[in-house]
């Protein structure tokens, strides 16, 4: 068996976050929203309700039906959508379906799905006079999805943009020219020009009139409005949305009334501006209705980065860890990815991590160790880019490896070494499958120079802001330990690598170093009375024979049969000893053909 020299064990110091600080945080968060911890509450208002948060909109109004006053939607206004029931209903004063029209709005979110904008004609008493029309602008897997439905002409679906979930502001402009059957969609600096076959076929919108009312919703729809019968089920939008403006063909702005705002908060909420209780250099992360802490690089963990007894696991070459970064339905194209880990390895060859995307174009991010050096590979769909870093990494010391992919640049950190890869085109998005693998893989994969499982210790394993090992320790379902034995916490010395033979057919094949001399020693534990520990065929001029080390009634026996013409010879290796008690035992044989 492979043995490795012993190392001194380390005792990791612990700190305890003072109770007064925890109570202070609880008190502050309680002041923010009673009963909801660090959640925030939202407002609901319809026509005539008080404005919330943005005083610049107070008093701004436009005339409605019968001379009534309705709140004016300002192009500078921004709203935070906090719940599944959050939505805005907007009514432009004159934005007819039949004319060239344009809408612009901005949004930021961390969610891969959500309804941004929805347009529907109001049903009339004469149902035949208003055929079915709907326009959806939504997020689906971090891309902008546009669905145009016109009567029986079919559904026209288009996509533009990707990676729109980094909590950065994005601006969408949608312009429809009915007479030409054209739609133009712009997301930031990316344009999509569309020919709507339904409009081309009908010569424009031959439905309703310029006075036909319509519904315009942002974020979600009004569940109380029974006349809204959507063809598509959509997720509600979570995040910030606003800066809405409407225009006609000549570029003139159109005023719009904000008729309903339900479960939204004025302005874009950033809880980290007021409630940043992250410790030890942890970075506050705003989730709008709550906040969290990113503890990467702090050498602390837990929800406030206040725990220095870092989750550490020992892998012994027979297991690996799987971490689910999102569900299959939430897969996104991402232009930012961070993978980081501290590792202490006892063998010169093993897998560190693997992330793949199996849908074309296939993506790979992989790191493995061979000959004590680290081999890194990344594939954005155009072929593998490879980098080799470090040497003698199996020196039983702690090492750090970090990959930061940010747009067209990939930066690698191997202890104090830095290497940068630059992508020459715009194809720098990764579309990864949900499961990433740490310390081993279930099957061979491109980008890895070995498929041997890791022997050693891991700690501070991060994918983006997620601490994978902390999730494993807490029993979260997205982190799994794959192995026959339970996960082993702490960093233990692994001076032997045991193998488990779970089935009668299980076996390990080795090449013997000599054809004339047998020198073998095996440590084993079993509860089987009858089993073969090791065996091999023998070949000579007189024919074929064999040797074996076998347990028979709990006693180890070495047997050798030189060939078919010679009798067998056997020796009891442990006469009188029971070797089937489930404890470790050792047998060895040295046999030389003279």
CB atoms within 10 A of CB 438: 29
Q: Which tokens sit at 485?
A: 């034995």
Tens of pLDDT, residues 294-338: 999 999 999 999 999 999 999 999 999 999 999 999 999 999 999
Q: Which tokens sit at 291?
A: 């906040």
Cα distances (Å, whole numbers) of residue 48 to 59, 69, 70, 71, 135: 11, 8, 7, 8, 28
Are 352 and 260 in the same domain? no
Q: Which of 54-68, 435-449, 521-535 has the highest mean pLDDT?
A: 435-449
Tens of pLDDT, residues 201-251: 888 888 877 777 788 999 999 888 766 777 888 999 999 999 999 999 988
Q: What percent of the chain is modeled with pLDDT above 70?
A: 86
Are 477 and 395 in the same domain? yes
The residues near 162 (Cβ < 8 Å, ≥ 6 apart) are 142, 143, 332, 333, 429
The residues near 306 (Cβ < 8 Å, ≥ 6 apart) are 15, 17, 279, 280, 300
What was the pLDDT predicted at 146?
A: 97
What was the pLDDT predicted at 576?
A: 56
The residues near 126 (Cβ < 8 Å, ≥ 6 apart) are none
The CATH number for 436's domain is 2.60.120.200
Are 192 and 329 in the same domain? no
Q: Comparing 51-55, 139-143, 147-151, 285-289, which segment has the lowest mean pLDDT?
A: 51-55
Are 236 and 100 in the same domain? yes
Tens of pLDDT, residues 23-78: 333 323 333 333 333 444 444 444 333 333 343 445 477 666 555 677 899 999 99
What was the pLDDT predicted at 575?
A: 63
Half-sphere exposure of residue 465, counting CA atoms within 13 Å on the CB side? Answer: 16
Q: Which residue has the higher pLDDT, 335 or 18?
A: 335
Q: Comparing 70-79, 101-110, 561-570, which segment has the lowest mean pLDDT?
A: 561-570
Asked if residue 74 belongs to a domain, the reply is yes
Locate tokens 């930012």: which residue?
336
518 close to 592: Cβ distance less than 8 angstroms: yes
Cα 153 to chain center, whole Å?
Answer: 38
> For residue 576, is it left (φ>0), alpha (ψ between -120 and 50) or beta?
left
Asked if residue 274 belongs to a domain, the reply is no
Are 343 and 472 in the same domain? yes
**Number of separate domains in the chain:** 3
Are 448 and 399 in the same domain? yes
Are 485 and 566 in the same domain? no
What was the pLDDT predicted at 7?
A: 38
What was the pLDDT predicted at 231?
A: 80
> What Rg, from alpha-carbon coordinates, does the chain have?
33
- Domain span at 210: 41-266
The residues near 296 (Cβ < 8 Å, ≥ 6 apart) are 283, 338, 340, 460, 462, 465, 467
Are 550 and 471 in the same domain? no
Asked if residue 297 belongs to a domain, the reply is no
Locate tokens 């963990």: which residue?
301
Q: Which residue has the higher pLDDT, 217 or 563?
A: 217
Are 479 and 525 in the same domain? no
What was the pLDDT predicted at 504?
A: 82
Asked if residue 17 belongs to a domain, the reply is no
Tens of pLDDT, residues 273-293: 988 899 999 999 999 999 999
Asked if residue 35 belongs to a domain, the reply is no
What was the pLDDT predicted at 542?
A: 75
Residue 15 has pLDDT above 50, yes or no: no
Asked if residue 151 belongs to a domain, the reply is yes
Are 321 and 444 in the same domain? yes
Average pLDDT, the chain: 85
- Cα–Cα distance between 379 and 377 in angstroms, integer? 7
What was the pLDDT predicted at 519?
A: 86
Are 556 and 482 in the same domain? no
What was the pLDDT predicted at 520?
A: 87
Last residue of a domain, one of 469, 489, 509: 489
Asked if residue 298 belongs to a domain, the reply is no
What was the pLDDT predicted at 553?
A: 85
- The pLDDT confidence band at residue 496, using thresholds 50, 70 and 90, is confident
Asked if residue 584 belongs to a domain, the reply is yes
- The pLDDT confidence band at residue 100, using thresholds 50, 70 and 90, is very high
What was the pLDDT predicted at 43?
A: 47
Q: Which of 431-445, 503-517, 535-549 has the highest mean pLDDT?
A: 431-445
Are 233 and 94 in the same domain? yes
């Amino acid at each position: 068996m492979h043995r490795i020299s012993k190392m001194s064990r380390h005792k990791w110091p612990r700190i305890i976050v003072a109770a007064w600080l925890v109570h202070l945080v609880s008190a502050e968060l309680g002041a923010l929203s009673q009963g909801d911890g660090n959640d925030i509450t939202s407002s609901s208002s319809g026509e005539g309700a008080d404005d919330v948060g943005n005083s610049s909109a107070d008093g701004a109004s436009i005339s409605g039906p019968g001379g009534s006053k309705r709140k004016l939607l300002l192009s500078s206004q921004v709203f935070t959508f906090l719940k599944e029931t959050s939505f805005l209903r907007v009514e432009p004063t004159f934005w007819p379906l039949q004319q060239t029209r344009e809408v612009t709005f901005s949004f930021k979110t961390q969610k891969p799905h959500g309804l941004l904008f929805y347009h529907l004609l109001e049903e009339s008493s004469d149902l035949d006079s208003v055929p079915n029309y709907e326009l959806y602008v939504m997020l689906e897997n971090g891309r902008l999805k546009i669905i145009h439905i016109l009567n029986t002409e079919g559904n026209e679906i288009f996509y533009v943009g990707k990676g729109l979930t980094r909590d950065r502001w994005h601006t969408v402009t949608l312009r429809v020219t009915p007479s030409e059957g054209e739609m133009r969609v712009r997301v930031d600096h990316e344009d999509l020009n569309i020919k709507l076959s339904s409009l081309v076929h009908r010569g424009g919108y031959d439905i309703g009139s310029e006075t036909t009312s319509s519904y315009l919703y942002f974020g979600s729809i009004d569940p109380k409005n029974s006349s809204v019968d959507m063809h598509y089920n959509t997720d509600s939008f979570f995040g910030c949305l606003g800066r809405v403006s409407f225009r006609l063909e000549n570029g003139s702005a159109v005023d719009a009334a904000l008729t309903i705002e339900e479960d939204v908060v004025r302005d874009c909420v950033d809880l980290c501006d007021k409630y940043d209780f992250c410790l030890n250099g942890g970075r506050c992360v705003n989730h709008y209705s709550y906040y969290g802490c990113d503890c990467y690089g702090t050498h602390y963990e837990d929800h406030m980065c206040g725990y220095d007894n870092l989750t550490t696991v020992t892998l012994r070459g027979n297991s690996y860890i799987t971490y689910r970064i999102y569900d299959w339905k939430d897969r996104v194209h991402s232009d930012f990815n961070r993978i980081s880990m501290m590792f202490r390895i006892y063998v010169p060859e093993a897998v560190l991590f693997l992330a793949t995307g199996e849908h074309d174009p296939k993506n790979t991010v992989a790191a493995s160790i061979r000959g004590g050096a680290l081999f890194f590979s990344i594939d954005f769909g155009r072929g593998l880019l490879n980098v080799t870093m470090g040497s003698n990494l199996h020196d039983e010391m702690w090492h750090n490896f970090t990959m930061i992919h940010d747009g067209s640049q990939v930066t690698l950190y191997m202890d104090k070494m830095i290497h940068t890869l630059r992508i020459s085109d715009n194809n720098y998005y990764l579309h990864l499958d949900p499961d990433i693998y740490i310390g081993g893989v279930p099957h061979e994969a491109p980008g890895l120079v070995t498929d041997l499982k890791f022997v050693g210790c891991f700690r501070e394993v991060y994918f983006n802001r997620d601490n994978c090992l902390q999730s494993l320790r807490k029993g979260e379902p997205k982190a799994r330990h794959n192995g026959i034995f339970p996960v082993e916490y702490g960093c233990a010395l692994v001076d032997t690598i045991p193998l488990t033979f779970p089935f009668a057919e299980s076996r390990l094949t080795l090449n013997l170093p000599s054809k004339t001399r047998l020198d073998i020693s095996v440590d084993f534990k079993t509860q089987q009375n009858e089993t073969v520990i090791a065996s091999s065929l023998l070949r000579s001029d007189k024919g074929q024979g064999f040797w074996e080390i076998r347990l028979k009634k709990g006693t180890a026996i070495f047997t050798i049969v030189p060939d078919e013409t010679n009798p067998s010879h056997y020796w009891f290796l442990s006469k009188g000893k029971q070797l089937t008690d489930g404890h470790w035992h050792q047998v060895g044989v040295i046999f030389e053909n003279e």
